[in-house]
Structures are given as C-alpha cells and as structure tokens.
Amino acid sequence: MPINPFTQSFSMDDIWKQRLSQEQYNVMRQKGTEPAFCSALSGSKKKGNYYCAACGKLLFMSSRKFESGTGWPSFFSPAGKNAVRLVEDDALGMKRAEVQCAACGSHLGHVFDDGPPPTGKRYCINSACLEFEEKFGKEISRASFAAGCFWGVEENFRKLPGVLQTTVGYSGGNWEHPAYEEVCTGKTGHAETVRVGYDAEKISYAKLLDAFFAMHDPTQKNRQGPDFGTQYRSAIFWHSHAQKKESEGKIAMLKKSGVRVVTELMKAGKFFRAEGYHQKYLLKRGEAACRI
C-alpha cells in the first residue's frame, strides 16, 4: 500500500510522487501541459463523470463536454460550484485563469472565453488529470464487498464476465469524505470497499458471492495476509433484501461446512470514492491481482 504519513515521515511532495504517474505529477503538481491529442478522453463521447486523478473529487460531467478541436478535453462548465477553483496565471506573460481541483489544489488546465452557450467558457483540461467513470444506458445492478486491500479485490472482480464497472472506495464507517490516510488510522470505521456494477443477466449475485469468498480468507478478523486493521475487514454491504438473504444463506452454508466465517453483513450506506490513483491500480501498472 502507499506511504502512510501518519506512521512515516515523508513530505507531501514525496507522497504525490508515489500516488501519481510521472506524467500526472508533472502536470498536476508542477503545472505542466500534456501534448495535444494524446488521450482518447479528448474526443470521447461516452457518458459519465470525470474525477480528479489525484484526490477523486468529481470535477466534470460528460453532459457539459464539447468538441473544441484543440486536442484536450473541453467543458463549458464544471460539475458544480465547488468542483474547481480559478487562480490568476500570468506565467507566460499573458493573463489566464488556471483551473485547479478545489479539493487538493492540483493543476488541471486553464479556462478561456471562447466556449459554447450557455456559459461561453472553455475549460481546457489535461486528460492526465482526469479519471473517467462511464455511465451505462441501462440500469445496472450494484454490489459492494470488502476483502482486504482493494487493489487486488477490484482487479479480481473486474475480470469477471458480466461485470461492467468497478470502483474502489470506503464504506461502513462514520467519517464523512475520508481520505486514504485517515482510513489508514482505523479511526474512521470505514473498510476498503469495491463497488461492483454488473449485468444481472450475465452474472448472478450468487456468482459474485462465490468469487468474493474465493478471493480472500473470510476467517481472518480485521486483516488479510500482511495487512491488518479494521479497514481490511471482510464485509458484504447489501443493496437489497434479496442480496441480504443470499449472503446470509452463503455464510450459513460455509459455517455448516466448518468454515469459521467472520464476514460482516451490513446494509450498504454511503460509499466514498477513493482517490484517483487507487482506481484500477493494478491494471494501470500491469500487475496481477494477488489471491490470499
């Protein structure tokens, strides 16, 4: 897992260097600019949301995106009033408005007055700063699981046929909008969780349960392998009474067979999306998911 500044002495710059790829660090923390037309995001017409690659904050939505022909993703307005902040920038001898993430202060791009109605603005954003989460045309089913470090858990679920979407985050605690470092302390009560979007016609919830129990050790309380703490506990967060009933049945069957299951079963509450660098962590790095 990444550097935890609560237990180790590192500068914030060290932490950003570990969290972000070299390109992301150059753009987001050193205010660089990526080459035009370098990313599929610039011309993408997929529906969904764009999140900060550094902290996971919702920044822009596809409904406010337009094709500017510049080679960078362009939006006529951010996702909300508190999504971004504007800072005067005259570094190149011309006055421009720099766009920063309102949550973490990362550099995103610049805003210009040559956009379409209704705002007339063009938020010109580096794609390296964005994490995209697609919205599907039809309603998809949701399931949420905690089984230790969410990097490997997400990668295992992502590969299952019928799974359309995976997002890592924090669930089951009493802390609003927790950051990774806060979850690491164990004081938030949250577990590292994977939210799964799936096509119920292609994969059943029962199959997801089978995969969940196969990818971790449900007999270990508040730990998986070398990772320990309540944030690594085994838990199922049910989204419907049907999911609750199936989960109870699966746990009962395992216990009857002699498996001392300690998996918690809780109603799904608020899910807080984890920072951008955690999303698809192993996929981005070409690493295989571990199996306890």
pLDDT of 7-60, one tens digit each?
444 577 888 887 788 999 999 999 999 999 988 888 899 899 999 998 889 999
User: What is the fold of 12-133?
Assistant: 2.170.150
pLDDT at 278: 92
Q: Give the start-to-end residue ranges of the domains of the chain.
A: 12-133, 137-285
Residue 3's pLDDT is 44
**pLDDT for res 177:** 86
Task: Output the DSSP codes for 13-58.
Answer: HHHHHHHS-HHHHHHHTT---PPTT-STTTT----EEEEETTT--E
124 tagged catalytic: yes
Neighbours of 264 (CB within 10 A): 14
Considering 101, 124, 129, 184, which one is annotated as catalytic?
124
pLDDT the model gives residue 92: 65
- The catalytically annotated residue of 101, 129, 149, 184 is 149
Cα separation, 26 vs 220, in Å, equals 41
- Token digits of residue 251: 């746990």
**Please, what is the average pLDDT of the chain?**
90
Name the percent of the chain lying above pLDDT 90: 74
- pTM of the full predicted structure? 0.78
Mean pLDDT over 109-126 rounds to 96
**Which amino acid is residue 158, in one-letter code?**
R
Tokens linked to 19? 């969290």
**What's the CATH code, domain 137-285?**
3.30.1060.10
Q: What are phi and psi of 27, to 5 degrees?
A: -80, -50
More confident residue, 183 or 17: 183
pLDDT, tens only, 131-165: 998 887 667 899 999 999 999 999 999 999 999 99
